[in-house]
Structure 1
């Protein structure tokens, strides 16, 4: 754990607000993307079977972009400071993508714009996590990340409901001719683009970062392991990762598994190749390259980060299962149909949007409870409580058959979601050296993205094989995995 020097000045309410307000706009962008991109793709002619492949952009761009942006933001200093140049650049690119996507003339243009949108949102988002650690002392970081969580929940609610509000309140058309995007989606993206840009601009203009010399006075860095040694050591495992990837690819071909599983095998091979390449660069005397430094940072993660990474892996596996299967579960078990053309199915699908707005709204409210809860029982135990609430919420889907009772399930999941967005980062930021806060926050994202890639690759095969006619059992898996995350959290020190 980093050893703290002089404590950073305390921020008041508006200081905490300004530090995280940009996240409100970023989350509106993410919510518009999550709720409407499949609709845009289908409007432009893609089939349902191809949606998963097109959606792989989201986790892949996060996996690639965030560690690199974190690495460079740790080393940046200019007129706008350390993190703010990345906020602004990402917001400008994301604004352009949001304005352009609902006007895409053909499918391939929309697909390219999705990669651009998700990549630029990640550029803007990644430094915000490190920014809280930069600006706040240890005692205020729970409150700082709770403010972020509040803005994430509020932005998600607004972004998710924007097209519905435009249609129901302002009578904007919700349909379009074949090959076109409904005006409600178009105007929703335009409003989201403006909200994103000006929210990020607010944070850029109302905050000022500590210069490098002053930042160094706040914290004394502990010893750092020699990274060239770590990189060479990591390369010894490269053949193992490559062999595992080859086995996965061979299994897909041999047993006819889902084609997205190829991506998992290819990812394992790519990781092994990256380890070999980074070691080769170090041996040639070029150890200062980005790849070798990121591999070295991955190998020298603090113990607390390693333990939290395991928690994140199980946590986000459960969340991704929920995001994939809530609609088919609710439409079948609560609204009594699997016919996607029926009125009952579409009524159920709309209700899922309401349920998702509920858990994001609860997350916003619970964010104001967490600082006091963490002060009373500790950050670790507060997070365990949140994860157990989430597990109970997932498990309840097996027995609940009333659409309004499901709101209670989503309240429990909202408490978990609030904790997931707050506590791991509050704990982690106190365990990291300040000089590497950006890159480690980016690397931490791997353990959010990796389970999403695995779940999206294999869960379809699991559902078809073990419960082909009833996806509700996927929620039992989600509940179990979330429970394992709570158990894994016991390995994190209570004082963290």
Structure 2
């Protein structure tokens, strides 16, 4: 691939076009994060069963992202480039899954569709991280990841609000017979699938890719890398060759994603119990709580979209790891405080702190990581880093059900305190991360 010094500096609108697909991808993730527990509960799942049902998402990422990263590193087409074929294929299948999810007739079907949805979203998303490393020199990489974070925030705001928009402004029903998904949720997923596909297609057709610096050498290396056995050896062997910075970030990522996974799984049940006074997933109050959680998630996503352009400025004044540590600490305190809040309006306040943390989580670790990775294996290592995003979620998925049942007496809100503490631990571990560029330009 091109060295950092030979990569052309991109304009604002070129950064916009190459990142716009994330607007659609986040429609998929936001609808999944805000509504999956609601769908599972509506179909009969108990609170202590939710973590295991959610395991489909991180387990899929564990399998898919390193493989897609490896394949995209070894792909080149004169017209379609390296990463864009994966953007497109993932978008097609993710859009289909978004249509299927709210039409699930049983718990097992919803869990199966979640596998499909998360696999397809990961096929689209993983190459986007490597896309920044491919196209931008080091002086623009933080800005590139910040632009992605901006679109992630904007997409998540709109997607999280969709059930409320359909209910409050378009008169769509937010209740349904027992075991049936409300129309407000179904229409939100239909809209999300459409936006997902269109936004990714925008990037596919408006952004180009830099060819390998030495095409003949690239093709020779690609021919040598063919074969399932070689691919698996390369993927698994990379653990022993991870750059030191990546190892340090792995510890931070582990505790970060335990906290986030806890929030996504249990915020709906927590708000329903603590604020709306119900644990009955078939009740109108529980569905109202689900819509309110969508609004809460829209707030933290909106904050992250705005913070995306402020954090790089703060990083230039201090350092990327200082900014990340501060944002994680603020997010941890904010998430833990949800347990003490019983007024729905006041629930928006901690979401501001969570939004700051989310903006940094989506920007700073990847900017720090990109500077420590070899250009030829950018996609592979970005995919490998995802192990430290999904493994903590898998562990949390296995453990949280036991914790809520035996330690928290079935009270979901207490798990949010645990999630907040996990973010604080991640903040403390950030101190030990070595950033190769202290003051990014």
Any idea what SS the aligned residue of 2:9 has?
coil
Q: Which residue of 2 aligns with 1:158?
A: 158
- 1:11 corresponds in structure 2 to 10
Query: Could you give the per-residue CA deviations for residues 217-242 of structure 1, whole angstroms, max 9, x where no partner exists?
Result: 9xxxxxxxxxxxxxxxxxxxxxxxxx
Higher relative contact order (CA 8 A, sep 6+): 2
Q: Which stretch shifts more, 458-467 or 103-112?
A: 103-112
In the alignment, what sits opposite 1:114?
Answer: 114
Deviations 1:281-308 (A, max 9, x none): xxxxx89621111011121000000000
Q: Match of 2:56?
A: 57
Give the structure 2 partner of residue 421 of structure 1: 362
The alpha carbon displacement at 1:411 in A equals 0.6
In the alignment, the residues of structure 1 paired with residue 95 and residue 284 of structure 2 have an alpha-carbon distance, to the nearest angstrom, of 35
Once the two structures are TM-superposed, the CA of residue 347 in structure 1 deviates from its matched residue by: 4.5
Q: Kindly state the Cα deviation for residue 370 of structure 1 after the two structures are TM-superposed.
A: 1.3
Say which SS state the counterpart of residue 212 (structure 1) adopts.
coil
Displacement of 1:186 in angstroms is 3.0
Is 1:368 matched with 2:317?
no
Partner Cα separation in structure 2 for residue 460 and residue 110 of structure 1: 19
Match for residue 317 of structure 1 among 258, 261, 269: 258
Change in Cα spacing, 1:164 to 1:492, as seen in structure 2 (3 Å) is same
- Closer, same or farther: CA 22–340 of 1 in aligned 2, 3 Å: closer
Kept after mapping to 2: 8 A contact 1:398/1:476: yes
Q: 1:216 to 1:441 in 2, by over 3 A?
A: farther
- 2:319 is aligned, of 370, 374, 378, to 378
Aligned to 1:75: 74
Residue 417 of structure 1 aligns to a residue whose secondary structure is: helix
> Could you tell me which residue of structure 2 aligns to residue 128 of structure 1?
128
Contact 2:9 2:137 in 1 (8 A): yes
- Tell me how far apart the structure 2 counterparts of residues 452 and 6 of structure 1 sit (CA, whole Å): 38
1:61 positional shift: 0.7
Q: 1:475 pairs with 391, 409, 416, which one?
A: 416
Task: Give the structure 2 partner of residue 450 of structure 1.
Answer: 391
Distance 1:324 1:405 in 2: 20
For the aligned residue pairs, the C-alpha RMSD in angstroms reads: 2.8
Structure 2 residue 330 is matched with structure 1 residue 389: yes
Secondary structure of residue in 2 paired with 1:172: coil
After TM superposition, give the deviation of residue 402 of structure 1 in Å.
3.5
TM-fit CA distance, 1:30:
1.9
Contact 2:83-2:127 within 8 A present in 1 as well: yes
Contact 2:261 2:393 in 1 (8 A): yes
Deviates more, 1:139-148 or 1:185-194: 185-194
Which structure has the larger Rg?
Answer: 1
Where does residue 433 of structure 1 map in the other structure? Answer: 374
> Out of 403, 407, 411, which is 1:466 matched to?
407
Which deviates more from structure 2 when the two are superposed, residues 286-295 or residues 432-441?
286-295
**Partner residue in 1 for 2:242:** 301
Summarize deviations over 1:249-297 as a string: whole Å, max 9, x none. xxxxxxxxxxxxxxxxxxxxxxxxxxxxxxxxxxxxx896211110111
- Once the two structures are superposed, residues 54-103 of structure 1 have per-residue CA deviations (whole angstroms, 9 ceiling, x without a partner) of 33211111110000000000000012000001001111121222233444
The answer to whether structure 1 residue 490 and structure 2 residue 441 are counterparts is: no
Tell me how far apart the structure 1 counterparts of residues 87 and 246 of structure 2 sit (CA, whole Å): 25
Listed one character per residue, the Cα deviations across residues 83-135 of structure 1 (whole Å, up to 9, x for unaligned) are 00100111112122223344456655544333222211110111000001111
1:92 aligned partner: 92
1:109–1:335 distance in 2 versus 1, CA, 3 Å:
closer
Alignment of 1:131-146 (within 5 A): 131-146=131-146
Name the CA distance, whole Å, in 2 between partners of 1:20 and 1:106.
36
Q: Is the 8 A contact 2:263 2:416 kept in 1?
A: yes
Counterparts of residues 267-278 of structure 1 (less than 5 Å): none
TM-score normalised by the chain length of structure 1: 0.79
Give me the TM-score of the superposition, normalised by structure 2.
0.88
